[in-house]
Amino acid sequence: MEQDEKFAKKKLQQPVVIKCPHCGWEWTPGEIFYPDNVLGYPINVIRDPLGHILYVEYKDDCEPLAEEEFWCEHCDRPFIATIELKCDAKPQEEVLDFSETATQLW
Residue 103 lies in a domain: no
Q: What is the pTM of this model?
A: 0.67
Look at residue 7 in the predicted model and tell me its pLDDT: 60
Q: How many CB atoms lie within 10 A of CB 16?
A: 10
Q: What value does the mean pLDDT of the chain take? A: 87
Residue 43 lies in a domain: yes
- Asked if residue 47 has pLDDT above 90, the reply is yes
Residue 3 lies in a domain: no
In the three-class reduction of DSSP (H, G, I as helix; E, B as strand; rest coil), residue 18 is classed as: strand
Number of domains in the chain: 1
What is the torsion angle, in degrees rounded to the nearest 10, for the CA atoms of residue 4, residue 88, residue 70 and residue 40? Answer: -100
Do the Cβ atoms of 64 and 39 come closer than 8 Å?
yes
Residue 57 lies in a domain: yes
- Asked if residue 101 has pLDDT above 80, the reply is no
Look at residue 21 in the predicted model and tell me its pLDDT: 97
In the three-class reduction of DSSP (H, G, I as helix; E, B as strand; rest coil), residue 38 is classed as: helix
Look at residue 4 in the predicted model and tell me its pLDDT: 58
